[in-house]
Amino acid sequence: MPAVVFNVFPIRSSCNSPRHLLPEVLLIIPFSSRTSTRRVSLTPGTAPDWTNTVPHHLLRSIMSTKNHLEHVASNGHGGADMRRLKTHDMEIGITDAVQRHAVRHVVHPKPVSQKKLDFEHSRPRWIREMVAEAMGVFFYVYPGIASQASFFLNGTEPIFGSLFQIGMAYALGIAFAIITCGATSGGHFNPAVTICLAIWQGFPWKKVPYYIFAQIFGSFLAGLLLVGQFHPQMMALSAGFHKLGLSPNSLGGPGSILCSFPGAAQTSYGYLFFIEFFVCSFLVR
């Protein structure tokens, strides 16, 4: 007995009607092994030539399903036609079933005023780069020095910070700065990076002063905001240092929150320069 091959023809409507009105119908048509399977297009008003290969009761079932779908589409259920736009054939087969003749409703945006277009055209690019550099340095510096302030001003309470927290604050700050501002300015955020790029990577020297000014300005804003937030605690710590005869701008004082100070045993400027040079080179390499 010859093997039986089943050819599956999914009939699917392209309209947006409810599923209970136009369900997906799978026509499983058996063919003998001597009959080649072929794709059949159910043109409205005509019947496919399956009389020699398909039983009559299956033909009646196929044509009944076809007529029902045409009737539903012609009655306006879903507001769309199930037939193809050009050939008016029913959508039969996998390729045809995935075709959608959907009508897209595009909402047009409001027109942009000519004044705004002229402003965007005349806006200097170097200003945007400077603003991005200043914002990036602010996002980088402020979390770090805020974590330092919390750690130094509350040294007796471990819950207020640790050295690990300070490092993570700087790491998250530089990551956020690169993500938000790096695409506009290049993500220098350090005068050393700007100078190195100008020497070896062809960065325009005329932009170097603007970049360095923006970087210093961004870090100054971060320090100014921090002093305004922790001013009472910093003044109390400064008064304690004055009573001990120490300068507030020394290691462990309120000034060390904003910048680094050498220890009492570090008196060699060459040694300090080597430390700063190596650490900066390691960070920006």
The CATH classification number of 124-284 equals: 1.20.1080.10
Residue type, 206: K
Contact indicator for 163, 151 with CB cutoff of 8 Å = yes
Instruction: State yes or no: pLDDT of 244 exceeds 80.
Output: yes
Domain ranges of the chain: 4-97, 124-284
Contact indicator for 24, 18 with CB cutoff of 8 Å = no
Q: What pLDDT, on a 0 to 100 scale, did the predictor assign at position 151?
A: 85
Which sign, positive or negative, has the C-alpha torsion 65, 40, 35, 6? Answer: negative
β-bridge mates for residue 10, sequence order: 26
Q: What pLDDT, on a 0 to 100 scale, did the predictor assign at position 243?
A: 84
- Give the rounded percent of residues in the chain with a pLDDT score beyond 90: 18
Report d(CA 122, CA 52) in Å as an integer: 77
- Residues 6 or more apart whose CB falls under 8 angstroms from that of 69 comprise 11, 13, 22, 25, 82, 90
Its pTM stands at 0.55
> Residue written as tokens 């330092």?
148
Report d(CA 173, CA 144) in Å as an integer: 7
pLDDT single digits (tens) 15-52: 444 443 333 344 444 444 344 444 444 444 444 554 45
Q: What pLDDT, on a 0 to 100 scale, did the predictor assign at position 60?
A: 65
Report d(CA 196, CA 241) in Å as an integer: 40
179, 181, 185, 186 alpha-carbon torsion, rounded to 10°: -20
> Residue written as tokens 């300005």?
217
How many CB atoms are closer than 10 A to CB 277? 11
- Residues 6 or more apart whose CB falls under 8 angstroms from that of 246 comprise 253
Closest listed residue to residue 233, CA positions, set 156, 158, 172, 180: 156
Q: What pLDDT, on a 0 to 100 scale, did the predictor assign at position 142?
A: 93
> Residue written as tokens 């299956």?
58
Q: What pLDDT, on a 0 to 100 scale, did the predictor assign at position 40?
A: 46
Report d(CA 198, CA 203) in Å as an integer: 4
Q: Provide the pLDDT confidence category of residue 59 given band limits of 50, 70 and 90.
A: low
Lowest mean pLDDT among 75-79, 158-162, 214-218, 270-274: 75-79
Contact indicator for 26, 93 with CB cutoff of 8 Å = no
